[in-house]
């Protein structure tokens, strides 16, 4: 391992906490890429100390996201395993002919920004980042199509806000994380409800094994945004979390029927996250 | 660095009489995408988070009621300010909120609402009748 130097065009490795390393690079006004190794690694791109882009192996990139932004969604829910045909939505919408026009500049700016925040949340959260080898290389900044980079303090404030929201969801009556398997609630409590296009796209893909993260990759959306949207579907009682086999405790008494695989966890109350509490705890 | 598309959108609402603060917020995540501020003593993160909470709760209510439509706007009248929240969709799967805070002594509420709706028409994709319902009934 080479010794850390913050001056000069060199490649060098470090194992100090990622946020500390990032702070030093930002303060020094460096331009280049900080790569983090490992299965949950990624890269953070800096331009004169500002964070212009980040990518993680565990979050979808902006190109995947952009490609799915306006794609049509099917009109029926797929049938549950072993059940009849899918459920049609109330008003029998017409099939989609073409992708509608939308503001592509705005949408691209949005997906680059969200993909960066999603990746930054992933890279700066979770297990201690000491263990991950980091490598910084001076290079040209990526093309950002006019999007300004973040000062590191602003990026960290946004990451911290998202971490607080994730903690709210993880401690809710129906605890949810980005990697929690989901199941559909078989019987709706009310005869008629409505969902957004994004919520519909999620609902039709929940099969007992899907998690917010796998759904995000499938529909081309942020992991954080998908987790929040799933949480709203749990609040609406369309979805709940599947009970993992390992947590089925205590075991059923002798003679009692065993709980089926993927059984829903009963939730109490209507879980709601507070964005206000996340910025002003 | 050239201005972002969000800043370009906000430059239009900055012309509204009584303008104090404006921001575009991702309704899904509560992230502030762009902002413009004439009065620095208003906390932008708190205003944006409050607007997101309101939109979130109203969307849950509309879903539960199957209200045959989504949120359009929210008007909050405080003794000194108007807070106007307008939801718009620049792409079918995106929901943004435009929050504008106005000084009541200088603002005309009816005109401001008209201007926000004009902004919406210019910025957003209108619902396409060929698309599956957005929102849709289940």
**Domain membership flag for residue A3:** no
Closest CA to B100 of B88, B120, B84: B84
> What's chain B's average pLDDT?
84
- A197 has a chain B CB within 8 A of its CB: yes
Distance from CA of A271 to the nearest CA of B (A): 11
State the total domains in chain A.
Answer: 1
Q: Is A271 on the interface with B (CB under 8 A)?
A: no
Confirm or reject contact between A185 and chain B (CB < 8 A): no
Contacts of A173 (CB under 8 A, 6+ apart): A267, A268, A269, A271
Residue A219 lies in a domain: yes
* Domain range B5-123, CATH architecture: 2-Layer Sandwich (3.30)
What end-to-end distance do the CA atoms of chain A give, in Å? 41
Q: What is the mean pLDDT of residues B40-47?
A: 90
The confidence score (pLDDT) of residue B100 equals 96
Write down the pTM of the prediction: 0.81
CA distance readout (Å), A255 to A76, A250, A252: 39, 14, 8
Residue of A nearest to B65 (CA): A193
Task: Kindly list the residues from chain B whose CB atom is less than 8 angstroms away from the CB atom of residue A147.
Answer: 4
Nearest CA in chain A to B123: A103
Q: Report pLDDT digits (tens) over B5-19.
A: 788 788 888 999 999
Q: Would you call B121 an interface residue with chain A, using a CB distance cutoff of 8 Å? A: no
Looking at beta carbons, which residues of chain B come within 8 Å of A228?
A: 28-29
**Which residue on chain B is closest to A148 by alpha carbon?**
B1
**Domain ranges (residues) in chain B:** 5-123
Contacts of B52 in chain A (CB under 8 A): 275
Asked if residue A5 belongs to a domain, the reply is no
Find the angle CA(A82)-CA(A85)-CA(A90) to the nearest 5 degrees: 135
pLDDT per residue as tens digits for the range A112-167: 899 999 999 999 986 655 556 778 888 877 776 666 788 999 999 999 999 999 99
Give residue A186's domain range. 12-95+102-279
pLDDT value at position B89? Answer: 83
pLDDT tens, A232-264? 999 998 999 987 655 545 555 555 444 444 455
**What ipTM was estimated for this complex?**
0.85
Strands B32-37 and B19-26: antiparallel
The residue with tokens 């620095």 is B40
pLDDT by residue (tens digit) across A57-111?
999 988 877 777 766 555 555 544 444 333 333 333 333 334 455 677 788 888 8
Residue A201 near chain B (CB below 8 Å) = yes
Q: Do A102 and B90 touch (CB under 8 A)?
A: yes
Which helix (DSSP H) or strand (DSSP E) does residue B58 occupy?
helix B44-65
A190 within domain boundaries: yes
Distance of alpha carbon B91 from alpha carbon A106, whole angstroms:
9
The C-alpha atoms of residue B70 and residue B120 are separated, in whole angstroms, by 14
8 Å CB contact of B56 and A273:
yes
């Amino acid at each position: 391992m080479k010794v850390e130097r913050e001056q000069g065009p060199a490649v060098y490795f470090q194992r100090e906490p990622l946020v500390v390393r990032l702070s030093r690079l930002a303060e020094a006004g460096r331009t280049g890429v900080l790569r983090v190794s490992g299965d949950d690694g990624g890269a953070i791109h800096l331009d004169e100390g500002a964070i212009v882009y980040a990518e993680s192996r565990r979050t979808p990139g902006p190109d995947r996201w952009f490609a799915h932004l306006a794609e049509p969604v099917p009109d029926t829910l797929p049938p549950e395993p072993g059940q009849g045909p899918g459920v049609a939505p109330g008003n029998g919408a017409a099939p989609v002919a073409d992708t509608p026009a939308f503001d592509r500049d705005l949408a691209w700016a949005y997906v680059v920004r969200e993909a960066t925040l999603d990746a930054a949340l992933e890279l700066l959260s979770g297990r201690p980042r000491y263990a991950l080898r980091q490598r910084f290389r001076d290079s040209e900044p990526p093309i950002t199509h006019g999007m300004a980079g973040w000062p590191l303090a602003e990026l960290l404030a946004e990451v911290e806000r998202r971490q607080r929201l994730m903690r709210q969801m993880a401690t809710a009556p129906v605890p949810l994380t980005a990697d929690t398997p989901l199941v559909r609630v078989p019987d709706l409590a009310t005869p008629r409800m409505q969902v957004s296009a994004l919520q519909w796209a999620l609902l039709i893909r929940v099969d007992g094994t899907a998690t917010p993260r796998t759904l995000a990759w499938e529909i081309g959306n942020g992991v954080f945004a998908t987790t929040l949207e799933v949480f709203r579907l749990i609040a609406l009682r369309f979805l709940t979390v599947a009970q993992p086999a390992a947590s089925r405790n205590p075991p059923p008494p002798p003679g009692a029927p065993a709980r089926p695989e993927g059984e829903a966890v009963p939730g109490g109350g209507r879980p709601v996250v507070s964005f206000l509490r996340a910025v002003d705890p | 660095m050239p201005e972002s598309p969000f800043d370009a959108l906000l430059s239009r609402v900055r012309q509204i009489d009584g303008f104090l603060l404006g921001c575009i917020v991702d309704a899904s995540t509560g992230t502030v995408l762009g902002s413009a501020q004439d009065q620095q003593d208003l906390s932008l993160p708190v205003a944006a988070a409050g607007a997101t909470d309101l939109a979130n709760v109203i969307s849950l209510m509309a879903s539960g009621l199957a209200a045959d439509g989504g949120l359009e706007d929210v008007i909050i009248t405080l003794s000194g300010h108007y807070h106007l929240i307008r939801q718009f969709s620049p792409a079918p799967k995106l929901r943004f909120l435009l929050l504008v805070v106005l000084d009541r002594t200088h603002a005309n509420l009816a005109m401001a609402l008209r201007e926000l709706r004009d902004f919406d028409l210019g910025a957003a994709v209108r619902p396409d009748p060929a698309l599956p319902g957005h929102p849709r009934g289940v």
